[in-house]
Amino acid sequence: MPRKLAAGNWKMNGTSAELDQARALMAACPTAGVDILICPPATLLSRLSDLVRGSTIATGGQDCHANAMGAHTGDLAAEMLADAGAGYVILGHSERRADHNETDADVQAKVKAALNAGLIAIVCVGETEAQRDAGQTLAVIGTQLAGSLPNGMTDDRLVVAYEPVWAIGTGKVPTLPQIGEVHDFMRAQLLARFGNTANAMRLLYGGSVKSSNAAEIFAVPNVDGALVGGASLKAADFKGIIDALEAA
């Protein structure tokens, strides 16, 4: 069984004051039976990493550049995230794909950069509402997985997050059978491409996860945790999700 992961994506939210939420979460989780991750805005990464060092909480970035260094104003190299204390980086989030026109090939190049820097890549895939309505969900997920992942991925370096675009920040959640269908499909695709190591790859669900719906989502086979946006911003809300994952 993969070790479960509760990952919080703070997106473009949080200044110094929000480090108190991490302090509160740290105090609430002195021990943990699951991995806990916070991906803050880059401006907080170094301070958050220092704050949680030695605790049950790991930190990650929300994106990285495909290159290791160079003339890329405003961008961050994976090595810089690692140097700031990150252990993970989220790549190919639908907001990056939409706002910055990131393609599967772009995401794959970033995954390679993340691996070179020693980071664990959390690669996001997910269909739009129009694609689901057109019956294209599995085809879209299959294409994104094939294009976004380099060869030779192993369970210790890759996490995949299924995030239906229409469920992110909307309060809408797929049915449990819909989540299960996609997660079973992803596991099969990863097994076919990477072999047995894929049995231990963490497959996260993301999209309007809250403490009130977490337990039923975590009971779906092949759901190994969650990537959480809004409900990761407050320690008490995120703790509820972590508790549900520990109990699953």
Q: Which residues are annotated as catalytic? A: 93, 163
Longest dimension (CA), the chain: 47
Based on the shown chain and the rule CB under 6 A, indicate whether residue 169 belongs to the binding site for ligand PEP.
yes
Cβ-based nearer residue to ligand PEP, 194 or 204 = 204
Buried b (16+ CB within 10 A) or exposed e, 77-112: bbbbbbebbbbbbbbbbbbbbeeeebebebbbbbbe
Contacts of 178 (CB under 8 A, 6+ apart): 137
Based on the shown chain and the rule CB under 6 A, indicate whether residue 206 belongs to the binding site for ligand PEP.
yes
Based on the shown chain and the rule CB under 6 A, indicate whether residue 40 belongs to the binding site for ligand PEP.
no
Of the candidates 50, 31, 30, the residue with the CA atom closest to the CA atom of residue 40 = 50
Give least dist CB 47 to ligand PEP, A: 22
Rounded to a whole number, what is the distance in angstroms from the first to the last CA of the chain?
Answer: 12
Amino acid at 170: T
The CA angle 54-124-199, to the nearest 5 degrees, is: 75
Stretch that binds ligand PEP, among 30-38, 70-78, 177-185, 200-208 (CB under 6 A): 200-208
Based on the shown chain and the rule CB under 6 A, indicate whether residue 217 belongs to the binding site for ligand PEP.
no
Based on the shown chain and the rule CB under 6 A, indicate whether residue 237 belongs to the binding site for ligand PEP.
no
Q: Which two tokens stand for residue 220?
A: 């779906």
Based on the shown chain and the rule CB under 6 A, indicate whether residue 230 belongs to the binding site for ligand PEP.
yes
Based on the shown chain and the rule CB under 6 A, indicate whether residue 229 belongs to the binding site for ligand PEP.
yes
Stretch that binds ligand PEP, among 21-29, 80-88, 134-142, 225-233 (CB under 6 A): 225-233
Of the candidates 60, 76, 58, the residue with the CA atom closest to the CA atom of residue 68 = 76
* Rg of the Cα atoms in the chain: 17
Based on the shown chain and the rule CB under 6 A, indicate whether residue 241 belongs to the binding site for ligand PEP.
no
Give least dist CB 141 to ligand PEP, A: 16
Q: 113 - beta bridge partners?
A: none
Stretch that binds ligand PEP, among 39-47, 151-159, 195-203, 224-232 (CB under 6 A): 224-232
Based on the shown chain and the rule CB under 6 A, indicate whether residue 144 belongs to the binding site for ligand PEP.
no
Contact 182, 217 (CB under 8 A): no
Phi–psi pair at 209, nearest 5 degrees? -75, 135
Give least dist CB 197 to ligand PEP, A: 25
Based on the shown chain and the rule CB under 6 A, indicate whether residue 62 belongs to the binding site for ligand PEP.
no
Q: Which residue is nearest to ligand PEP (CB)?
A: 229
Stretch that binds ligand PEP, among 37-45, 76-84, 175-183, 228-236 (CB under 6 A): 228-236
Contact 151, 187 (CB under 8 A): no
Give least dist CB 168 to ligand PEP, A: 4
Amino acid at 113: A
Based on the shown chain and the rule CB under 6 A, indicate whether residue 168 belongs to the binding site for ligand PEP.
yes
Interaction site with ligand PEP (CB under 6 A): 9, 163, 168-169, 206-209, 227-231
